Amino acid sequence: MESQGTVDTVNRHKQLGLTDGQVIDMYRFMQLGRKYDERSLLLQRAGKINFHVSGIGQEAAQVAAAFALDRENDYFLPYYRDYAFVLSVGMTTRELMLSVFAKAEDPNSGGRQMPGHFGSKRLRIVTGSSPVTTQVPHAAGFALAAKMQKKKFVSFVTFGEGSSNQGDFHEACNFAGVNKLPMIIFCQNNQYAISIPAHKQLGGKVSDRALGYGFPGIRVDGNDPLEVYRVVKEARERALAGEGPTLIEAMMYRLSPHSTSDNDLAYRTQEEVDENWKKDGIAAFRTYLTGLGLWSDEQERDLAAEYNLELKEAITYAENAPFPKPEDTLLHVYDESGLKGGA
């Protein structure tokens, strides 16, 4: 399908090498992440699940980054708001629902971890934890393995601007810079570390920190998925060319509270949140696609209906799926395939 440009809308994706079909797919994944997230909030409010940590407001950048990567070969180290990202690299809503319901079949952790703690070897999503930014050195380890084994993949790691203050961020950046590792370090600056606003977290820009580590640091509008796509794609090309890591700071806004345990209006105003809803990357991307004649209100309605059905089925499946057996708590401390050493 060739897009029909209007007077107001200039096709920006074609020159980036993205087809019309791909940008529509990107939009679909953004909406899927959003709908999944909204539904999880409702499930928690309805008392069906215990906890949800939201990524609303960050989907556009997440999906754009995923589309700029090699989703068949790269290794991903996402953080706990990356629902739209993991959906884009192959996780299903059923799998995510199995995780929020803490069911045995949850591929992320078999019902062991909080939701949002992703992991799937099949999808090359590396298991993550709650202490923030520990995954950045791991990403350097994957990138080091790529370099040593001469494999054509990059590691892609994400985290928030609050976590960029952790030592592991700095130690891993330096390690990656020294060794010119094929690694993309992607900060989702959503302006808040729970209640602490960015100006109390950061004396400067996260992206500027790259200078001290000897590689490019790029700040990008996270609500502009095509711009995010462009910088991630370039970072990937640099990485594969042996030119080392890139730090990308995608600017966005956490539209929802930190988690279902958080009342965000205790530390920010409704006016501020409303103002940022106007900049929502998904809405802007819809306008872009509609302007090019690639998307219509009818398609939007169809998509909403499709996702409603998909989520309903995912929830039904997950709700009815068995919990882990209580005694399975004891499994997988060590390898159990026969070596002596299990406790």
Contacts 24+ apart (CB under 8 A), 144-151: 144/179, 144/181, 146/181, 146/182, 147/179, 147/180, 147/181, 147/182
Q: Using CB under 8 A, which of 83, 142, 156, 192 touches another protein?
A: 142
If one asks whether residue 150 binds another protein (CB under 8 A), the answer comes out as no
Sketch the per residue contact string, 116 through 135, with another protein: x for CB under 8 A, - otherwise.
-x-xxx----xx-x-x--x-
| DSSP symbols for 217-280 | EEEEETT-HHHHHHHHHHHHHHHHTT---EEEEEE----S-SBTT--GGGTS-HHHHHHHHTT-
Q: How far apart are CA 108 and CA 96, in angstroms?
A: 8
Q: Does 98 bind another protein (CB under 8 A)?
A: no
Cα–Cα distance, 190 to 188 (Å, whole number): 6
Q: Which stretch binds another protein (CB under 8 A): 20-28, 111-119, 185-193, 249-257?
A: 111-119
The sheet that has 75-77: what strands, in order across it?
75-77, 155-160, 183-189, 246-251, 217-221
* Tokens standing for residue 118: 């992703």
Q: Is 63 helix (H, G, I), strand (E, B) or coil?
A: helix
- By CB under 8 A, name the one of 38, 70, 171, 262 that touches another protein: 171
Tell which positions 311-340 bind another protein, by CB under 8 A: 331-335, 337, 339-340
Let me know how long the chain is.
343
Binder among 33, 116, 137, 281 for another protein (CB under 8 A): 137
Nearer to another protein, 204 or 338 (CB): 338
Partners of residue 72 on adjacent β-strands: none
* Nearest to another protein of 21, 131 (CB atom): 131
Position 74 contacts another protein (CB under 8 A)? no
**Interactions with another protein, residue window 179-238 (CB under 8 A):** 179
Window 249-288: residues binding another protein (CB under 8 A): none
Residues making contact with another protein (CB under 8 A) = 75, 106-113, 117, 119-121, 126-127, 129, 131, 134, 136-145, 147-149, 155, 167-168, 171-172, 174-175, 178-179, 331-335, 337, 339-343
